Structure 1
Amino acid sequence: MSSQATNVTAIDSKKPTTKQELIAANVKLLIEQLEAGHSEALTDYLTAMSRFHNYSFGNVLEIARQMPTATRVAGFWTWKNLGRSVKAGQKGIRILAPIVGVRRKKEPEAQKDITKQNERMLLGFRNAYVFDITQTDGVELPELHQVSGDPGENVERLASFVKNKGIQLVYNQNIAPALGMSYGGRIAILPGQSKAEEFSTLVHETAHELLHKAERRTATTKTVRETEAEAVAFVVGKAVGLVTGTASADYIHLYHGNASLLAESLEVIQQTASVILAALEPPAQEASEEADAEPELAGVAA
């Protein structure tokens, strides 16, 4: 049975009869999700993430040097407030924490401007220790919705399409915690994802490669680029039968994208999704055999 033909039944109301109608229906669904605002999962995720500090470049290097596998670090009490405890015997990751003091101005100076009587100043640095999430136990942190389902042979078909475009495709553990990266002529995917997540990530990065080459990259913001790439991933994922839920809408919201911004990019999103879906169509002989096996569905999804 053709996966695309099967997926058409997932769009209730007026069933799309062509690929373009299928794309339009899925884009409309994504716009509705964005207009509905943050999902409960996204709200919980943002609340938890707000407790994590943004570390200086120097501290990021220190963390990476001491624990290259670290993905999410926080101090002892931050983990406690998140419902997790540092495991017994775990060695902390040393970072430098600023020591901030108050310099009191002399009385004559203070009287000149009472709003500037005392001045905060950096006195120095002290050693502080943080722990990676793998060093802790406790309640699970809120996570964003993930894509699920079975993409079938579409992962291999998309990988073949990417390579035929002259784009190098590699699987690299070192890009964690990112699931995928687009470098312009090269895509890196984090290994170990579910097949559905791997396919969705590959579609997202392929969209970047097709849409955001040098000339267009400089003319768009990161918010626009991430909205476009994730919208393509949503449309294509829905078309091949993946269960996306609010995963794409949540991702777009994380990059401050919204429905109006998506609408402005509608044409390029539809065109790019159409190109990728065309690349996922089975070879003519395979399609013919499927049509013979399921004559009632033949020709439903162009």
Structure 2
Amino acid sequence: MNTIATTATATPSTQNPKQAQQKQTAKEAIAANVQALIEQLEQGHSEALTAYLTAMGRFRTYSFGNILEIVRQKPDAQRVAGLYAWNQLGRRVKKGERGIRILAPVIGVRRKKDGEAEKDIRTQNEAVLVGFRSAYIFDVSQTEGKELPELSERVTGSVGEYRERLVDFILAQGIELEFKESIAPALGVSYGGKIVMLPGQSPAEEFSTLVHEASHELLHRSERRIATTKTVRETEAEAIAFVVGKAIGLNTGRAAADYIHLYFGNAALLTESLEVIQKTSALILAALESPAAEASAETEPELAQAS
């Protein structure tokens, strides 16, 4: 999670039971949210999972667990920030609005022994995770004030420069890219170190296929291929294509895809799949950002607890 954390003076050796319990809270929150997803999946509904996948693209700088928290509490959230960040943007949280609770890390300092510190003054102290604290953020719909500028990287129905950036990212991973008619009717095929694409696709379709096949290359050419079924691998790749496509503004026709295939009565598998989808989507989206976009992109700000 890309948060500016509050600094604590506690050290691991002096961590009390309450702090230990706070560290566990993050795992417990994830488990509870995944269980809520499972209950809906068991009823034959995948809308909540689709909403979560959409949120991955909107909030890629947030952690896996906190994206789950945002979607659970406010599924329609579009753009979130803490009180201080909204104030800096010239907006105020509306009276009576309830914040979205997430977990922010509390960073402590491990102080080295005098003898060790003297060897290298640059490493006298080491930042360590002490635990987590509750923090509150608000969606743009809960605020009022100055109009926000549209993010320059957002597009609608067109991939723009994203196609070239995606190709550059794929090649940078050491993956070859070819176009061949012979793979028809397949739109794309991943061969492990090489992606072959069917030429003549529309820009949006080609982009989505490229993300799908790149996801296979990044995720499924290792021991994970043996540990998962073909259905799960294909669904993960399709989910990543959905997340990335939605994030850049494509009008994807796959919004109603049946992501229920990620779950076959196995909560651990669902949790693992969602986490790899989130991390891989964030990796690809980061590569798609231009230098200008990176400089102005929203990051998870220092969070102020709502009163």
Q: TM-score, normalised by structure 1?
A: 0.45
Larger Rg: 1
